[in-house]
Structure 1
Amino acid sequence: MADAATKSPLSDRSVDAAPGGLTARRRRWLLAVASTNVLLVMASMVALNAALADVAVETSATQTQLTWIVDGYTLALACLLLPAGAIGDRFGRRGALLAGLLIFTAASAAPIIWDEPWEIVAARAVAGAGAAFIMPATLSLLTSAYPPAERNKAVGIWAGVAGSGAIFGFLGAGLLLAFFSWQSIFYGFAGAGLMMLVLTLTIGSSRDETAVPIDWQGAVLIGSAIAVFVLGIVEAPTRGWTDTVVVGCLVVSVLLSAVFTWLQLRTAHPLLDVRLFADARFGGGAAAITFLFFAMFGFFYLVMQFMGLVMDYSPLQTAVALSPLAIPMLALSSTIHLFLPRIGLRLALSAGLSLLAAGLLWMTFLDPDATFVDLIGPLVVSSLGLGFVMSPATSAIMTAAPDEKQGVASAVNDATREIGAAIGIAVAGSVLAAGYRNALAATTGALPADARAAATDSLASAQAVAVKLGPLAADLANHAEAAFMHAMGQALYGMSATLFAGAVFVAVVSPGRDGKRWASRRRKGRHRST
């Protein structure tokens, strides 16, 4: 009787179904839709960087406005992730995803009509708010739909696609700008958002069946803490790290986070059970993702300027040159679940961060005459490092959280990405600006004061000054390139050192193959010896 039952069509469907009752085909479709949605969100973070020069010319936007056209999206996304994840858990994850897509699509279409600089900033902030509902919903839908045996593979594919989102964003923007105006990027995002809205209607939903109330007080506190922190980090390169506004933002953020932690430990239904960070998987995964995106976006900030200003690549050439980064990362992210049990989370995360650090160090050997061939080695090593960390760290965060809190866990995973990216860009930008200015100042003494001030502002400004002054600035372009390479090297050394320190930290706090932390094993060993 048992054998007959297991061979029946009904039994086959039930074996093939996940906890959410989906068949294998429906799960694969859900994975495709969820991954494409998160690709859209990540691509939108970076695509406009390629169009800022055109936006500045056509809208007369100031440098501050250009900065906020990019950072307004990131700020809104980061501070709303945890509340949005909780709303998805409580009221339905597909509903949260659809609402986010609707907001994102409308806001992406707005700059086509309203194109004043601050109108674009406002539209980007609203698009970021929509993206905050999209990101956690995509991952929590996957982890709720896939059975434990297949969950790591699905999360790995999602993480690989999310990590490649920046590259696809550069590539898409470069292609559009090669043929159309900067508004085409907004047409592209609005069209893609509308298409994903339709496709998302074809997938199922999931939610927290316990129906506990949302901790709105905690949501306001953590949203404010992240918003103030990101604001301080974004302003640091322009104002300086000791500026009152920057220091004040960082201090207020720490205080708000402390109050949030205190409240979460005392409320019956916390937005985020902060005790999860004591879990070796959750804490180690969150730390690794933060270090990873710190380096990844800091690297993008540096290498795009190097390729555009030193190698004289167009935005499309830069995007094509960076695209090899996606191949090893996607391949490794989607297959690492096969051998992760053999090497353990600790080795995967620490080795990945170390590989990424080595790739950045390799970049310091480049010179102004570097070609694409010279870039391949550092890009491949860096990509392997990304692949070793991206999927295992994401899986560790999600598996450590209870099923009813998958949206919040996904939001933590996403928030660490945004915070790491913001810090990486700010640190890389600050070190690059200071190093460049100091290195070039000694060689521009003979220039007029206004030309000297412009030349020490950035490499792009120095190249413009060299063209205008001609013989008066005979060697300025060469000196400026040398100063830029020196400053980029300093930034890469600093990021590499931070990554190596991160690799050690993650090795200490993350579990090995036996599921135990290295530190706890050391304590037990000492206890036995006594």
Structure 2
Amino acid sequence: MELHENTGHPRRWAILGVLVISLLVVVLDNTILNVALRTLADPVHGLGASQGELEWSINSYTLVFAGLLFTFGVLGDRAGRKRFLMIGLALFGLASLLSAYADSPAQLIAARALMGVGGAAIMPVTLSIISNVFDPRERGRAIGVWAGAVGLAVAIGPILGGTLLEHFWWGSVFLINVPVVVAGVVLVALLVPESRDPRPGRVDLLGVLLSVVGLVALSYGIIDGGEHGFDRPVAWGSILVGLAVLAWFVRHELRSEHPSLDVRLFKVPRFAAPVAIVGLVFFAAMGVMFFSSFYLQLVRDYSPLQTGLLFLPFAGAQLIFAPRSAAMVRRYGGRAVAAVGLGLTVVALAAFAFIGASTPIWIVLLVFFIQGVGMANIMPPATESIMSALPREKAGVGSAVSNTVRQVAGALGVAVLGSVLSAVYRSDVGDALTGLPAQARDAANESISGAYAAAGNLGPGAPTLISAANDAFVTAMHWAAALSAIVAALGMLVVLRWMPGRDALAPASAAPAAEPELAGTA
């Protein structure tokens, strides 16, 4: 009978509900921001942010978030996961207030970076607490619910953001975080038990610094190259410095006695393969989400609220299918489920390469739905495989790696695909700008948002400029979509070659004995 005893916490499902609320505040903010990008680019109703500044408003958060996840995952295990969750929520709420009342794109970017600090304290401990309070036999189902909460936030975010933008000023999309944070802090204090690693390690300060510097330098170079051209020394210099610092980071982690990331974990297929899949999928998906918002609001002329509603098929598919993925994994194995999910995602991303300015909107909705179904069957089995590779007391390690890779890949996806989008757009729109006033020409050449702003002052010439800008943007979107589909297809190769099958759900407590590389982490 002892083998069948459930070792989970008595209030584990109520605790999961609290963790979902904590997760919502992090994901909700980013999905709301997607529909606010056009408003933020407006010099009258927003901050007049450029394409590069819009990308940095996303990347400043994700890069700080990713850089600190290593440390906060370890600190949460060491100092107490409940404590870190409450601190992270409070800091996230404060940074939301600062974002709401930013007076310039630079202030918004700085406030978003501070928000990333709070998010880095929240995200890893939610998965760590799930691993701590759930029996390994129920953990897959719990992680499916956790992943489904992301779908819920994706559904709520754009609709809520669009509603707020139609009735209030742009800062309201950040103020909405505050009541969610307050509810989260109260419920965490009442319901979530404190837990920590009984044998914590020291914090690797140099490793953390190297990871932050390397990621920021690499992304800055990519964004700068996309905005101003890759023939500038600043772009290539930043990229090379970023790669060199990240290489130093890996070398340091291999030699450190207390690494922030134990790179030996990547020798274990059940850990390394799903980490690679998460990175490739989010690189492709986040870049597509970035440009699809501009496509719907500018090329198709939908309002922020309508754009949010159009994202519902993607979010609804995740909400429906993610919680059911654990049962699919038990029946068919993680490799088969992830492979099918990746196949659907590749089809959806490739479809964007054929969507034009007049494509029936039901086709766009169908593509969003297929992408949502695909990603709903990738993330839960991948996350469960990562978390099952480690014992409960080291859950912060698996959580930190999973979320770090996801956020870094998403940030680089926005940067790289945004750079491709900008470069192709500028190349294609150039001929249509001949004869325009210098100020209008520069604005229209920078981005499609700039073209729409410039067209407002051109009188009879406005329709010609808008038509040319739309055509150039759609062409650029096709190139970016094709690249994203290729990246996601690489994930399918990783699944078929290295992803474990039915044995991926082996008890975590056996991992160190079964995998010599994991012995040091246990």
Fold agreement, TM-score > 0.5: yes
1:435-514 equivalences in 2 (<5 Å): 435-472=424-461, 475-513=464-502
User: In structure 2, do the counterparts of structure 1 residues 183 and 453 end up closer, same or farther at CA, with 3 Å as the change threshold?
Assistant: closer
The superposition leaves residues 337-393 of structure 1 with CA deviations (integer Å, 9 ceiling, x where unpaired) of 112134332232233222111012223332222343222221121111111111111
Q: Which residue of 2 aligns with 1:523?
A: none
The answer on whether the counterparts of 1:443 and 1:479 sit within 8 Å (CA) in structure 2 is yes
For residues 211 and 471 of structure 1, the distance between their equivalents in structure 2, rounded to whole angstroms, comes to 69
The answer on whether the counterparts of 1:455 and 1:461 sit within 8 Å (CA) in structure 2 is yes
Aligned: 1:125 with 2:110: no
Shift of 1:81: 0.8
Q: Which residue of 2 aligns with 1:198?
A: 186
Q: Which residue of 2 aligns with 1:29?
A: 14
Aligned: 1:285 with 2:270: no
Shift of 1:514: 5.7
User: In structure 2, do the counterparts of structure 1 residues 35 and 384 end up closer, same or farther at CA, with 3 Å as the change threshold?
Assistant: same
Shift of 1:290: 0.8
For residues 355 and 383 of structure 1, the distance between their equivalents in structure 2, rounded to whole angstroms, comes to 9
TM-score, normalised on structure 2? Answer: 0.88
Does the residue aligned with 2:458 lie in a helix, a strand or coil?
Answer: helix
The superposition leaves residues 424-447 of structure 1 with CA deviations (integer Å, 9 ceiling, x where unpaired) of 111221222222222222344454
Amino acid of the structure 2 residue aligned with 1:331: I
For residues 190 and 515 of structure 1, the distance between their equivalents in structure 2, rounded to whole angstroms, comes to 39
1:110-189 equivalences in 2 (<5 Å): 110-111=98-99, 115=103, 117-162=105-150, 164-189=152-177
For residues 399 and 241 of structure 1, the distance between their equivalents in structure 2, rounded to whole angstroms, comes to 42
Q: Which residue of 2 aligns with 1:47?
A: 32
The answer on whether the counterparts of 1:297 and 1:421 sit within 8 Å (CA) in structure 2 is yes
The answer on whether the counterparts of 1:214 and 1:269 sit within 8 Å (CA) in structure 2 is yes
Aligned: 1:296 with 2:285: yes
User: In structure 2, do the counterparts of structure 1 residues 353 and 404 end up closer, same or farther at CA, with 3 Å as the change threshold?
Assistant: same
Does the residue aligned with 1:182 lie in a helix, a strand or coil?
Answer: coil
Number of residue pairs the alignment of both structures matches: 500
Structure 2 alignment gaps of length 5 or more:
506-522
Q: Which residue of 2 aligns with 1:326?
A: 315
Higher-Rg member (1/2): 1
For residues 215 and 445 of structure 2, the distance between their equivalents in structure 1, rounded to whole angstroms, comes to 33
The answer on whether the counterparts of 1:59 and 1:116 sit within 8 Å (CA) in structure 2 is no
Shift of 1:16: 4.8
Amino acid of the structure 2 residue aligned with 1:29: A
Aligned: 1:57 with 2:22: no
Does the residue aligned with 2:44 lie in a helix, a strand or coil?
Answer: helix
For residues 450 and 114 of structure 1, the distance between their equivalents in structure 2, rounded to whole angstroms, comes to 26
1:51-450 equivalences in 2 (<5 Å): 51-52=36-37, 54-55=39-40, 56-57=43-44, 62-63=49-50, 67-111=55-99, 115=103, 117-162=105-150, 164-202=152-190, 203-450=192-439
Shift of 1:139: 0.7
Bigger relative contact order (CA 8 A; separation at least 6): 2
For residues 54 and 303 of structure 1, the distance between their equivalents in structure 2, rounded to whole angstroms, comes to 15
The superposition leaves residues 63-111 of structure 1 with CA deviations (integer Å, 9 ceiling, x where unpaired) of 3655544432222212111101110011111111111111111222234
CA RMSD of aligned residues (A): 2.6
Shift of 1:493: 1.3
The answer on whether the counterparts of 1:46 and 1:70 sit within 8 Å (CA) in structure 2 is no
The answer on whether the counterparts of 2:390 and 2:398 sit within 8 Å (CA) in structure 1 is yes
For residues 223 and 463 of structure 1, the distance between their equivalents in structure 2, rounded to whole angstroms, comes to 36
For residues 135 and 439 of structure 2, the distance between their equivalents in structure 1, rounded to whole angstroms, comes to 65
Does the residue aligned with 1:295 lie in a helix, a strand or coil?
Answer: helix
Amino acid of the structure 2 residue aligned with 1:291: L
User: In structure 2, do the counterparts of structure 1 residues 137 and 360 end up closer, same or farther at CA, with 3 Å as the change threshold?
Assistant: same
The answer on whether the counterparts of 2:36 and 2:165 sit within 8 Å (CA) in structure 1 is yes
The answer on whether the counterparts of 1:302 and 1:488 sit within 8 Å (CA) in structure 2 is yes
Does the residue aligned with 2:169 lie in a helix, a strand or coil?
Answer: coil
For residues 244 and 456 of structure 2, the distance between their equivalents in structure 1, rounded to whole angstroms, comes to 50
Q: Which residue of 2 aligns with 1:527?
A: none
For residues 463 and 213 of structure 1, the distance between their equivalents in structure 2, rounded to whole angstroms, comes to 53
For residues 267 and 99 of structure 2, the distance between their equivalents in structure 1, rounded to whole angstroms, comes to 44
Amino acid of the structure 2 residue aligned with 1:503: M
Shift of 1:269: 3.4
Does the residue aligned with 1:269 lie in a helix, a strand or coil?
Answer: coil
Shift of 1:511: 1.9
For residues 17 and 190 of structure 1, the distance between their equivalents in structure 2, rounded to whole angstroms, comes to 35
For residues 482 and 53 of structure 2, the distance between their equivalents in structure 1, rounded to whole angstroms, comes to 31
The answer on whether the counterparts of 1:159 and 1:394 sit within 8 Å (CA) in structure 2 is no
Q: Which residue of 2 aligns with 1:521?
A: none
% identical aligned pairs: 34
